[in-house]
Amino acid sequence: MKPHISLTQFIIDQQRSIPNASGDFTMLLSDIASACKRIAHAVSRGAMSGQLGSAESENVQGETQKQLDIITNDIMVDALEWTGHLSGMVSEEIDEPIVIPEHFPKGKYLALFDPLDGSSNIDINLTVGTIFSILKGREGCNASLEDFLQSGSQQVCAGFVLYGPSTLMILTTGHGVNGFTLDPDIGEFVLTHRNMTIPEDSQEFAINMSNQRFWEAPVQRYIDECMQGRQGPRGKDFNMRWVASMVAEAYRILTRGGIFLYPLDQRQPDKGGKLRLMYEANPIGFIIEQAGGLCSTGRQRILDIQPDGIHQRVPVILGSKSEVERVVDYHQQT
């Protein structure tokens, strides 16, 4: 039996192929992995921890926070602020960029994260996760708001951790997608899913059907055709999935193919969408594209969007190439 390759070994092996690599990036990923192990532990304890339920507060998005939203955000900040690898951070749970305390050194990277994606699922014991993105910053000084406003195509790294029956980290540094499973016996993420690729064709779609009456015509058309099954223009039956956790939907697409849609909602057109560009759509989109899929708003590639704020929202359509291309084509026709 071949020995398992740990996440640390995998990243160091990649680092050796980069001239003049300092090791800062490797250490930053190690710090993120450590934080996610702590989050996995906090999530796995469930009701025993006394930390389920609402925190009776709202985040910057106006969404009700769970106690674990706050706890997991604190875990990420505590794990990353002192290391000297970052010049700043942003989080879904915090209004402004998180400043690195003055007494800690400032590094050359920026971290962006959703510490507990799908937290509405936590009280009913369904899948949740952590999403993160890494950008280049300005070394030696605290990051400004403008430093974070980079398009998704400029990401150095993106990943998400899935807290399910097993804890999985899905990671890309721009050279394909690999998956690592947390081995509780040794406390390490080990490589279990090498060079993940998305099947181009599938018969699954994921969307919140309760919002159907608010979708634009291209999305209405696409879903209607899927629902008609073999008797419709697609000539095949489709299955619908909806977990209300972007990381769970993305992982299923990575392993089985399909499409995930959280389209523009006509109830609140001024918001531009539901999901956040910087720490949800961009990192997941980077992973999906690196695995051979596509990620679009319906009108443009998500990784090409120039952000105008760290909490900007966008419509998201991602998954198997052929399915996303079809939805984009319907938008162009309209």
Tens of pLDDT along 137-160? Answer: 998 889 999 999 999 999 999 999
Question: Is 116 flagged in the annotation as binding?
Answer: yes
Same domain, 74 and 39: yes
Element (H, E) at 146: helix 145-148
Q: Which of 133, 165, 193 is the last residue of a domain?
A: 193
Q: Which pair of structure tokens corresponds to residue 45? A: 């304890």
In a domain, 199, yes or no: no
Does the annotation list 96 as a binding residue? no
Residues 221 and 301 in one domain: yes
Print the domain residue range for 287.
204-333
| Pair (28, 78) in one structural domain | yes
Mean pLDDT across 188-195: 96
Residue 271, marked binder: no
Q: Is 319 annotated as a binding residue?
A: no
Which CATH number do you get for residue 19? 3.30.540.10
pLDDT at 97: 95
Contact between 172 and 159 (Cβ < 8 Å) = yes
Does residue 262 form part of some domain?
yes
- Domain shared by 82 and 163, yes or no: yes
pTM of the entire predicted model = 0.93
- The number of domains in the chain is 2
pLDDT at residue 202 above 90? no
Task: Tell me if 265 is assigned to some domain.
Answer: yes
**In-domain check, residue 279:** yes
92 is known to lie in a ligand binding site: yes
**CB-based contacts of 207: which residues, under 8 Å, 6+ apart?**
219, 223, 240, 242, 260, 261, 262, 263
What is the rounded (10 degree) CA torsion for 190, 204, 208, 69?
A: 0
**Residue 63: inside a domain:** yes
The answer to the question of whether 321 is labelled as a binding residue is: no
Lowest mean pLDDT among 43-47, 263-267, 271-275: 43-47
Query: What percent of the chain is predicted at pLDDT more than 90?
Result: 77
From CA 294, how far away is CA 318, in angstroms rounded?
6
Give buried/exposed letters for 21-54 (b at 16+ CB in 10 A, else e). eeebbbbbbbbbbebbbebbebbeeeeeeebbee
Q: Which two tokens stand for residue 299?
A: 């009108």
Q: Is the pLDDT of residue 307 over 80?
A: yes
- Choice among 48-57, 104-113, 129-138 with the minimum mean pLDDT: 48-57
Element (H or E) spanning 169, and its range? strand 167-172
In the predicted structure, residue 93 carries a pLDDT above the cut 80: yes
**Of the ranges 64-68, 101-105, 325-329, which one carries the lowest mean pLDDT score?**
64-68
Q: Is 117 annotated as a binding residue?
A: yes
Q: Is residue 114 marked as binding?
A: yes
Q: In Å, what is the CA distance from 210 to each residue of 2, 78, 214, 265?
A: 48, 38, 9, 12
Which amino acid is present at 325? E
Same domain? For 180 and 208 the reply is no
